[in-house]
Structure 1
Amino acid sequence: MLLTLNISNFAVFEKQTIEFDSGFNVFTGETGSGKSVLIEALSLILGERASKDLIRKGKNSALLEAIFDVSGNSDFSIFLQNNNIEINSEDYLIISRELYENGKSISKINGRTVPLGIIKEAGSYLIDIYGQFGHESLFKKENHIILLDSLIQKDLTPVLGEYYTLYVEYNSITKEIESLQGKLSNKDLKIEQLQFEINEIDEAGLNEFEEEELLKQIKKLSNIQEIQNSLIEINGILSDNNLNSVYNLLNKIKGYDDSLAGFLSKLDILLEELQYFNYDLRDYSEKLDFDGEKLDVIEKRMSFINRLKRKYGFSIEKIMEYKESADKELDILLKAESNLNLMIKEKVNLNKKLEELSHIISAKRKNAAKVLESKLLSELDDLNMKNIEFKVLINKKANYSYDGTDDVEFLISTNIGSDLNSVQKVVSGGEASRIMLAFKKIVSDIESTQTMVFDEIDTGISGKTAQMAGIKMSYISANHQIICVTHSPQIASISKNHFLIEKKVIDNNTCSTVNKLDEENKIYEIARLLSGMKITEKSLSNAKDLIDSSRAITI
C-alpha cells in the first residue's frame, strides 16, 4: 500500500507531501490544477522515463519519493530477495527518483542506488496505473490476448516462460536449417569451387611482407642505369676534390702555430676515409648489372598476387582471411548432410514440445475466457450496460508466435438482435471505459497488486452509470488501495478519503497544493463538481444528499 508521496520541484508542485490511506482515495480539482502531474509523478516512481522539462522552472533538480507498506506482499518479498535488496519486516519500502537538468536521473530503493529497470520491475508489484486513455487499449486487437492473460498471470507465466525459451530455440534452429539447405543446393559444385580456391591460395605460398619486398626489387631493377650513371658522376666529383690543396696550405703554415698540426692530422684521416669510400662506391657500381629475366619473374609474381587480390581481397591479409573462411565453409559442406539430419531431428523434438505447451497454454486461456465471459456480463449489467453479449474468440494461428498459437479477439453485441462484432468496431469511448473498469474489477479479485490507480475512469459516463462505477471501485477498495483522479461528483461522493488539488499564484509564483478534505469541505467540493463555480445552498444540499445516498448504497 502507498503510504506517502513526497514531491519537490516537480512541474506545478514546489514541495508537497501527500499522506494516503487504505481504501478508496479520490483526487479532484479544476482542469490544469495538477491532477495529471500527480499521475506522472507516480509513473516516474514506477520506473517510467523522465523528462528534464518536468523540473520546476528555476530549479536544478526534482525529487520524487514514495513510501510503501509491503508487509504481506509475498511475491514482492521474493523479488527483493532475488535482487539482493534487504528490508526488515518492520520497515517500510522507500523508492525515490531524482531528476537532473542534464536529463539523467538517480533511482534508489531504501537508499540504495539501483538501475531503472529494477525500479520498473518493482513498480509492477506495487501499483497498477490505469491511465486517462487506458480504455483505448481495448480498441487494439493485439491487446486482447494481453488482457486475457492478465487474468491467469500467475498460473500462465511459468508455462509461457518455458514455451518462449523453446520458441526462441525453435526459431534459431529453423534459420540454421534453412541456411544449411541453401548451402546444400549445388553442394558438389560449391565444394569443387572452394577446394580449387583453397588450393590456389595455398600453392601461391604468400607471406605477409612479400609484396613490399617485390616492389623494392622492381624499383631497383627498373632503375639500374640511372643508379650506375649517378654513381659514376659521384665518383668523378670525389676524384676532383680540392682537399689536397687544403692539405698543402695547412702544411705550409703549421710551423707558425702548433694547433694547426692537429687540424692537419684530422684532414689526413678524412682524405684516407674519402679514398676508401670512393673505392667502395666504384666496386658497388661495377657489380651492378641489369637482370631482365629476374625483373620479368618478379613482375609476373606481382601480377599473380594482384590477380589473387582482385579475386579474394585487396591485400594479402584479406586473401588469407578469405582462405580461412573458405576452409570453414568447406568443412560445413562436407559435414552438412549429417548435421542437417541432426538439426531436423532436433526441430521435430522442439516442435513436439512446443505443440504440447501451446495446447496447455490454449486450454488455460479458454478456461479463462469462459470465466471472463460470465463475470464481465454481470459487471457490465451493474454499470448500466444491459442486454450485452460478450465472447472471447480464440482461433489457432498457422504458425508459432512468441506467446503461443492463440489468436484472441473480444467480440461484443451492445443491442438485442445485433450480431457479435469486434469490440473496436462497436463500442464507444464511454462503453470502453466501463468495460475496462469491469475488467479491472474482475482482475482485482485475482491480482496481488496492492494499489490500483484510475486516472479519469469516468471518461464518457455520468449520472447513475458514474455512481455504479464508483461503487465498483469502492468494492475493489475492500482488498486493494484505490487512488482515483476524477471529475465525477458521483464517483467522488463514494470515496473514503477525498483530496483536493488547487493551483495558486503567490508573488508571481504558480504552484499547486493537495489537501485532504474534511466532511464540510468535501460537501463543498462535491457541490462545485455538480454545479460549477457558483455554489448555492441548493447545490450544497444536493451534494450532501449525493454523499448520503452513495454511502447508503455501498454499506
Structure 2
Amino acid sequence: MLLSLHVKNLAIINEVEVFFKDNLNILTGETGAGKSIIIGSINIALGGKINKDIIRKGADYALVELVFQIDDENTIEAMKAYDIPISDGQLIIQRKIMNNRSISKINGENVTSSILKGISSLIIDIHGQHEHQSLLLKNKHLSILDRYAKDEIVTLKKELNQKYRNYLEVKQKVEESTMDEDKKIREISFLEYEINEIENAKLKKEEDSILLQRYKKLSSANAIAEGLALVNGFTGYDNSNSAGDSIGRAVKALNKLENMDDDINNFIRQLLDIESYISDFNRDIESYQKSLSYEPEELREVEERLNLINNLKSKYGESIDNILEYCKAAHDKLEKLIDYDNYVNTLKLEQKQLEEELEELSNELSIIRKKKANILASKIKEALIDLNFLDVRFEMSFERLNHYTQNGFDDVEFMISTNPGEDIKPLSKVASGGELSRVMLAIKSVLADNDAINTLIFDEIDVGVSGRTAQKVSEKLSFIANSHQVLCITHLPQIAAMADSHYIIEKKTKNDSTSTSIRELSEDESIEEIARILGGAEITENVITNAREMKVLAAKTKKF
C-alpha cells in the first residue's frame, strides 16, 4: 500500500506530506484547489510526463517521493527481476526534477524510466480523469481481457511473442529475396571480385601492426645508425672525453688512493660497477648496430604491402579482422545467390512452418480467451448491475484478424445494451461519458479481485454520475476497498461519506503567493466538508444534519 506522499516545489505546491491509510481514502476540495495536482504528482513520481513549467516559481527543483509497503510475496519476487534492494518490504520511489531533466531513484538507486514503469505496474493502478475514454479503443478491450486471464496465458503469450518476432524476420527476408536473373548475375560477379581481392591478399591477423613497426625501422635505419654511433662515442672508450674512458681513468686514480684510506675501497667497487654497466651498454649498442641493415628492396616491399592492406581497409573495414569478417559474409551471400532458388524455397518453407506454429499458438490462446471472456463478461455485468445498470447486457465479441500479431489473431470488442429491448452494440457506439466511467469502475472492480496490485487510484470516477447511481458507485468503491487500498478524488457527497479516511485539499494565498495543502479530517470536519459539497454557498443546520445522516448510512452500508 501507499504509505505516504511527499511533494515539494511542484506547480502551486510549496511542500506537502500526507500519510495515507488502508481501505478507502477520499480526497475532496474546492474546484481549483489542486486536487488533480496531488494525483498528478503521484503520476510524475511513477515516470509520467513533465510539463516544462512544473517547477514552482522561484524554486531550483521539484521533488516527489512515494513510500510503499509491499507485503505480497509474489510482488516482491517479481521485483527481483529489476535488481532493486527491498528491506522489510518498504519501497521508496523518488523523482527530482531540475532544469528540464529529472533523476528517478528507487530505494536510493538510480533507475531508468522503463524500470520505474515496470515496478509501478506491479504496485499501483491509476485511473485518471480521461482513462475511461480509452474504452472506446478496441485494442484496450483485448488488453483488459488478457490482464484478467494473465495467470493462464502469460507463458503462452511469451512463446507467441518470440515466435512472431522470428516470423517477421523470415517474412522480411522472403520479401527482400525477389531478384531478377540479370541482377543476380551482376551481384554474383561483384561478390566474386571482392572475395578474390581479399583472399589473394592472404591477410594475417595483426599483420598491419607488425609491418608498420618494420616500416618505421627500415625507413629510419640511417638516422638510427647515426644516432647510435653518436651515443657510442659519448659512452665508449675511443674518445678521451667519452664516459667509458673517463671512468677508466677515475678507477686508476682511486687505486692509487686505496692504500691511504680503507674507505676508498667502497668508491672503487661502486665505480667498477658503473664501468661494468657502461661496458655492457656499449657492447649491446655495437651488437645492435651490426644487426641494422638497410635494404631498399625490403623497404619497398613493406611499403607496398601496407598500401595494399590500407586499400582493402578503405573498402571493407577499418581493421584486418573487419576485412576477414566482410569476406566471410560475402562468401555466405555468394553461396545463397549461387543456390538462390533453394535459398528462397528454404525461406518460404520456414515462413510456412512459422505460420503453422503461430496458427496453433494463436488458436490455443483464443480458446483460453473465449473461456475467460465468458467469465469476465458475466462478472462485469454483475458489477454493472451493482452500479445501477439494471437491465444491462454485456458481452465480448471475437473476430479473427486477417493477419498474425504478437497477441495472436483475436480482435476483441466489448458489446453492451443498457436499456431493455435495445440490441447489443459496440460499447463505443452506446455509452455516454457517465456510463463509460461506471463501466470502467466495474472493470476495475473485477480486475482488482484478480490482481495482486494493492493500491488503486481513481481521479474523478464520478464524472456524469448523480443521485442513486452515485450511491451505487460509492458502495462499489467501498467494496473494492475491503481488499485494496483505494484513493479517490470526488465531488460527490455520497462517495465522500463512504470514506474510511477523508482528506481535504485546500488552496491558500499568503503574501501574494498561492499554495496547495492537504490534511486528514476528523469525523466532525468530514461532516462539515460533506455539508459543503451538499450545500454549496450556504451551509444550513439542515445541510449539516443531512451530511451527518449520510455518514451514518455509509457506516451501516459498510457493515454488510
Q: Check whether TM > 0.5.
A: yes
Runs of 4+ in 1 over 3 A off after TM superposition: 189-205, 315-321, 323-331
> 2:186 and 2:362 mapped to 1: Cα distance?
45
- Name the amino acid aligned to 2:355: N
Structure 2 match to 1:276: none
The CA RMSD over aligned residues, in Å, is 2.6
Structure 2 match to 1:68: 68
Structure 2 match to 1:13: 13
Contact 2:41/2:64 (<8 A) preserved: yes
- Structure 1 residue 153 displacement after superposition: 2.2
Contact 1:52/1:99 (<8 A) preserved: no
Contact 2:394/2:414 (<8 A) preserved: yes
> 1:38 and 1:446 mapped to 2: Cα distance?
28
- Structure 1 residue 317 displacement after superposition: 9.5
Question: For 2:352, which of 348, 353, 356 is the aligned residue?
Answer: 348
The residue correspondences of 1:314-393 to structure 2 (distance < 5 A) are 330-393=334-397
Contact 1:28/1:500 (<8 A) preserved: yes
1:152 partnered with 2:149? yes
Three-state SS of the structure 2 residue aligned to 1:108 is: strand
Structure 2 match to 1:94: 92
Question: For 1:421, which of 415, 425, 438 is the aligned residue?
Answer: 425
The residue correspondences of 1:117-516 to structure 2 (distance < 5 A) are 117-180=114-177, 182-183=178-179, 185-186=180-181, 189-194=182-187, 330-516=334-520
Deviation track 1:264-295 (CA, whole Å, cap 9, x = no partner) reads xxxxxxxxxxxxxxxxxxxxxxxxxxxxxxxx
- Name the amino acid aligned to 1:524: E
- Structure 1 residue 49 displacement after superposition: 2.7
Deviation track 1:155-193 (CA, whole Å, cap 9, x = no partner) reads 22221111011001011101112222x12x43xx33444
> 2:45 and 2:373 mapped to 1: Cα distance?
33
1:107 partnered with 2:100? no
Structure 1 match to 2:39: 39
- Name the amino acid aligned to 2:106: I
Residues 461/319 of structure 1: CA separation in 2 closer, same or farther (3 Å cut):
same
- Structure 1 residue 74 displacement after superposition: 2.2
Q: Which moved more, 1:109-118 or 1:510-519?
A: 109-118
Contact 1:3/1:68 (<8 A) preserved: yes
- Structure 1 residue 339 displacement after superposition: 2.2
Three-state SS of the structure 1 residue aligned to 2:450 is: coil
Using structure 1 for the length normalisation, give the TM-score: 0.75
> 2:115 and 2:174 mapped to 1: Cα distance?
38
Structure 1 match to 2:522: 518
Deviation track 1:116-140 (CA, whole Å, cap 9, x = no partner) reads 2211111111110001111101111
Residues 344/362 of structure 1: CA separation in 2 closer, same or farther (3 Å cut):
same
Structure 2 unaligned blocks of 5 or more: 201-310, 318-325
- Name the amino acid aligned to 1:94: I
Three-state SS of the structure 2 residue aligned to 1:540 is: helix
Using structure 2 for the length normalisation, give the TM-score: 0.74
- Structure 1 residue 51 displacement after superposition: 3.0
> 2:525 and 2:103 mapped to 1: Cα distance?
39
Contact 1:7/1:13 (<8 A) preserved: yes
Deviation track 1:11-52 (CA, whole Å, cap 9, x = no partner) reads 121111101000000000011101100111111121223234
Contact 2:195/2:330 (<8 A) preserved: no
- Name the amino acid aligned to 1:533: A
Q: Which moved more, 1:346-355 or 1:369-378?
A: 346-355
Three-state SS of the structure 2 residue aligned to 1:438 is: helix
Deviation track 1:482-509 (CA, whole Å, cap 9, x = no partner) reads 0000101111101100000000001111
Structure 1 match to 2:224: none
**Structure showing greater Rg:** 1
> 2:508 and 2:477 mapped to 1: Cα distance?
31
> 2:457 and 2:75 mapped to 1: Cα distance?
19
Residues 70/197 of structure 1: CA separation in 2 closer, same or farther (3 Å cut):
closer
Structure 2 match to 1:308: none
Contact 2:192/2:334 (<8 A) preserved: no
> 2:43 and 2:165 mapped to 1: Cα distance?
32
- Structure 1 residue 67 displacement after superposition: 0.8
Structure 1 match to 2:300: none
Residues 535/401 of structure 1: CA separation in 2 closer, same or farther (3 Å cut):
same
> 1:554 and 1:65 mapped to 2: Cα distance?
32
Q: Which moved more, 1:460-469 or 1:374-383?
A: 374-383
Contact 2:4/2:68 (<8 A) preserved: yes
How many residue pairs end up in the alignment?
Answer: 440
- Name the amino acid aligned to 1:441: S
Three-state SS of the structure 1 residue aligned to 2:507 is: strand
Three-state SS of the structure 1 residue aligned to 2:344 is: helix
- Structure 1 residue 344 displacement after superposition: 2.8
Structure 1 unaligned blocks of 5 or more: 208-314
